[in-house]
Structure 1
């Protein structure tokens, strides 16, 4: 396995009815008539392609544009996804999208360090913005992205697909209902053996780090939505067994701990050197919940002290884009936030983890 992003999955989707809007466009389905979020994807790599494929079965979002630094990819996408040439842009000229009324939102799916510039440019063009996670390489840049979108009066959402996953949401519902009692402990294991040593994820300038900026953020974010609180301190230790592959500033394995105001603690692992690590475990005084796998492309498997969870698998990116259409067009409030402010919190925790590694000390976190 070269990457968790190479997992295969079946395309599926769930229909959700939304209120009628005065300005509506008929979706490419007989079961839904309502507003469509018309999306251009910026960054046509493997994950951009995964999102594009998943959007073919969306009810409320439609892929209508493509933005890339590679002309041949634009030609391929025009053919594969029936995208008009007038809705295709290069990285150099995509600011002209401001004059294109057929595109509502731009989904930025590039290497991490490029997110900030593209998000701010999209906001200045007056388009709604969706950005892959981590939203940026540090909290300072992330906050500047949030501020730029606020100034431009556009929404900034982040690709937290797990925030819409039914097994995950059921555990959150049970926790909120008090079914696990007081939460005491969370464990998050996030890792895989990364392949090609020349890929951008192992380039400090493009990725902003290593495993923590790619896979570890799942345990950070998962700890927050599973425990139901934001941490107030972190400790962390780094292990590096291959300094040739994992150069300075590119973390291979990080163990980190989080402390929460209610007394719960989390013990987490982020790694690029071990497979079979995709598990969340939540423990309360009256019960437990487990997701294993917890964040892969699916199917997600869940169980609690009350038994197995049996929600059918749906393609995460399909559901994500339909839900984000509802958020942008209808003002829907998701159960777990997916906005830029949510992403800045994760970036602050990542900043604190790297500081804890550097100093060898517990670092207080203020979110």
Structure 2
């Protein structure tokens, strides 16, 4: 019985293993590339994701969704996108009838992730959702439920978990080459100067340092320990209340893990910092910078270097996620991982407001 492309992409795939490929996955020699539609043509889509899609081996840009008509001609000309693959937010539901699109990548402000990820799932296409997954745990669950109902894969855009030096740190959570982890420090911040009025300063849309940047040190604390925290205590502040009228400029949070590991984390839109440092019984290791788009590198106390280079984290992320669809295997960062971060983010805001520790059990 013949299957159309949509049925093949959703339901079929060869589970092929080889130690030569990340996570033992690779595509069949004649496998077609997956067709990706970007929802939201802001800076990250235009400057990072669209160029990265030109570098991928297993997917390609074939569609766009935008609320700004003036952007359409430029994108069509640059990426050869036909009229039938161009949508706005009111018509994106019609992607359900378009065989030229296999994956819908949600790249709108965080506060809109749930709305459009659910709409994407309801088209029957696979869903990639940029991090953080959504504003609330309840919204995250609604995305997961929609993808489960429609039998499509869901992947969250945590690019660091696809980056090779970070993947080494993730493996060390289990192998413990420097002994038991005692504590860690994860810090990410930028001095953004005087930012223009953007959605990142809008609380309803998911702005603020914690949502925008803080999920990186939070996610890092979880994958570095291989554990889930049992409590958090947090403090939020701003030195520029005239700018950060609705959102946090800086957030400090401390996570306690079941093994006794304490993670000291910071994130800020007013101070530059960029390091993951892990203190162990028999040494230490660090990544600095630990979440830049390029140049992630580090070292360990015994002189070992973490300096594997890749040209594009986003290209690798999208290829890894495409291979999970093609081979019908688990994605590296599923919705179940994204919802765990947001549950903790909500607890961080609760702790900062109350000034007390919040238990996560």
Look up the match of 1:343: 338
2:93 to 87, 92, 95: 95
1:301 to 297, 300, 323: 297
CA root-mean-square deviation: 1.6
Look up the match of 2:329: 332
Secondary structure of residue in 1 paired with 2:191: coil
Normalization by structure 1: what TM-score? 0.89
2:120 to 119, 122, 143: 122
Look up the match of 1:255: 252
Secondary structure of residue in 2 paired with 1:186: strand
Gaps of 5+ in 2: 1-19
For 1:253 and 1:172, how far apart are their aligned partners in 2?
27
32-41 or 152-161, larger mean C-alpha shift: 32-41
* 1:140-159 pair list within 5 angstroms: 140-159=138-157
325-334 or 91-100, larger mean C-alpha shift: 325-334
For 1:287 and 1:196, how far apart are their aligned partners in 2?
40
Task: Tell me, yes or no, if the aligned pair for 2:27 and 2:326 is still in contact at 8 Å.
Answer: no
**CA-CA distance at 1:174 after TM superposition:** 3.1
2:34 to 33, 37, 44: 37
Normalization by structure 2: what TM-score? 0.90
Look up the match of 1:353: 348
Cα pair distance change 1:236/1:329, threshold 3 Å: same
Alignment partner of 1:364 is 2:359: yes
Task: Tell me, yes or no, if the aligned pair for 2:110 and 2:133 is still in contact at 8 Å.
Answer: yes
**CA-CA distance at 1:303 after TM superposition:** 0.7
* 1:24-103 pair list within 5 angstroms: 33-49=30-46, 50-103=48-101
* 1:207-226 pair list within 5 angstroms: 207=206, 209-226=207-224
Secondary structure of residue in 1 paired with 2:255: strand
Report runs of 4+ in structure 1 exceeding 6 Å deviation.
Answer: 14-17
1:231 to 225, 229, 250: 229
Alignment partner of 1:18 is 2:15: no
**CA-CA distance at 1:213 after TM superposition:** 0.5
Measured against aligned partners, the alpha-carbon deviations of 1:132-168 in whole angstroms (never above 9, x if no partner) come to: 1111111111111111111111111110100011111
Measured against aligned partners, the alpha-carbon deviations of 1:86-120 in whole angstroms (never above 9, x if no partner) come to: 11101111111100011001000011111111011
The size of the alignment, in residue pairs, is 337
Look up the match of 1:7: none
